[in-house]
Amino acid sequence: MGILEGKKALIFGVANKRSIAWGIAKAMYREGATIALSYAGPALLKRLTPLAQEVESNFVEECDVTDDEAIDNLFDKVGSQLGNIDILIHSIAFADRNDLSGPYYSTSRKGFQLAMDVSCYSFTALVRRSVPFFNPGSSCLAMTYYGAQKAVPHYNVMGVAKAALEASVRYLAVDLGPLTHRVNAVSAGPIRTLAAAGVSGFKSMHSEFVDIAPLRRNVTNDDVGNAAVYLSSDLASGVTGEIHYVDSGFNIVGVTTPINEKQ
């Protein structure tokens, strides 16, 4: 029996098999959770349908997380079809491609608001609507990246949005703690996802990562999925407000030039 047996996980952000959210969905399904999926728009449904079948998900619903009415409609369906949930996964981020190539100061007001709305505020909006449906001891989990802590080339406004997201995790953890619920985030190393494709220079960053990270390897969505299982399970019942790194140790390194091991 898996460590999430009997729990229901509502997962936002599965776009294809490379998605971090897909790694999480697979791992949680393996550990016995009932999987419910929400996708951003009609264009993604064709790719999501066969994936939903792999994890036996009978809840596959569209939701525009920038629209409060759409969120309300989704949770009406959560109430009628699922009744309650134990796990909320937020693996959603978006910024205009033009804001991820030039200098950060070139970010437009509209672009800044879009990145903050989709990548940060939507987590708070989903948590707020989830609370009435949470079973005791439920878990909320967001996906972040090291660019929230340090300036990463071309990450720009997304780094600012992720920094705000990480602050939100801490404030939400304080709010939800007395209700017995936990809020954490996973900071994953670079993974070749649909979202990462929009970051200029990502391929170079991805290839150089293995020469710098202590474990000398890239991370996968399966690595993130396993960490998400832990953080969402009773094994992490005393953990909240944390940013948990799954990045082969990259975040601990002070000098980011490749190390010559033949000294």
* Token pair 């082969």: residue: 248
Check the CA dihedral 226-168-202-217 and report its sign. Answer: negative
- Separation between Cα atoms, residue 179 and residue 176, nearest integer Å: 5
Catalytic-role residue among 29, 39, 145, 245: 145
Cα distances from 218 to residues 32, 46, 50, 207, 214, in angstroms, run 27, 29, 27, 8, 10
Sheet holding 182-188, edge to edge: 59-62, 34-39, 8-12, 85-90, 134-144, 182-188, 243-246
Catalytic-role residue among 155, 171, 230, 245: 155
The answer to whether 189 and 250 are in contact (CB under 8 A) is yes
245 tagged catalytic:
no
Which residues, 6 or more positions from 213, have their beta carbon under 8 angstroms from its beta carbon? 189, 247, 248, 249, 250, 253
Which residues, 6 or more positions from 12, have their beta carbon under 8 angstroms from its beta carbon? 21, 38, 63, 65, 89, 90, 91, 92, 126
145 tagged catalytic:
yes
Contacts for 41-45 with beta carbons within 8 Å, 24 or more apart? 44/15
CA angle (170 as vertex; 168, 176 as ends), nearest 5: 95
Q: Which residues are catalytic?
A: 145, 155
